[in-house]
Amino acid sequence: MFSCDIDINRLTKKAKKSRPREEYPVGKQPAKALKRGRTMGPDLWGLSANQINGNDQLRVGRGPGYPDEILSTKIIGERQFGKAVKLFSSTTNLRPAALGPGFAAGTTDGPGMFGFQQGDTEINEFWKQLRDLLKEPSKYQPAILPIQMLSLGNFVILSVPGGLTNTYSQYVATFEEYKQQRYEAASTLYGPRTLSAYIQEFTKLAKAMATGEMPAVVGLLPPDLSSVQISLLQDPLGDSPPPGKRFGDMEEDVAQPKGGSFKKGDKPRATFWSANPRNDLC
């Protein structure tokens, strides 16, 4: 339960233990019979007074505008509304990158090992001890993600760094899907609000694009880890073009169509000499 600075709640300690979800802000008097339901907002009703030694006049609830009941109700409604707006517009909080146990279970097209099951939320003591040995988060798990929005006329492309695009950041499950903790949800790195964070930031880019304004500069860039990356592939052997050829030379240029211009569905083709793209000449 969040606090929105309203008044002292009616519930006794015993009632708080037995009915924790009935702790609601209250304001309108006189006392009414206890009801299971409550209405939040300016039309708040239903205060139940507590008795002290059998006398219900010794402990009567009061609102923030006491003795004006209408004012109390108005103040409570405004405070609740203000808190709701603040929560709604606040920045989405994310968790540090982590994988759930369901990730190790794999999927039907690639099942995992060691007894992990999709939907698992707990791990046994062996895996807990192994986890605890890895105290520091892996630097290969991204903490800063690049996002882009491209516009081609009325066609807009969102570049989301999920899967293998841009930065490898695994899956992006919905809030509801995340609760199930199957493979895709367990592979959603930043917690149940990962999707909400993407929506929040893409909304900012969309507004900036629609209004022609520059988006706010956050000053954060993903780290360059190219110098510390580990590759298990053999480096490509030396490349060299045939005698008399240089890299970039055209072997076969694009043939001009008979009509002089290309039409929809045509496939222009060109061939040129190039090196293995995995060669790092720098």
> How many angstroms separate the CA atoms of 43 and 69, rounded?
11
CA angle 141, 147, 153 (to 5 degrees): 155
3-state SS, residue 172: coil
Contact 75, 63 (CB under 8 A): yes
Answer yes or no: is 66 a known binding residue. no
> How many angstroms separate the CA atoms of 189 and 162, rounded?
10
The total number of residues written for the chain in this structure: 282
Concatenated DSSP letters of 89-150: HSPPP-PPS---HHHHHEETTEE-STT--TT-----HHHHHHHHH--SPPTTS-SS---EEE
DSSP annotation of 259 reads T
Q: Which residues are annotated as a binding site for Zn(2+)?
A: 171
Q: Which residues are annotated as a binding site?
A: 171
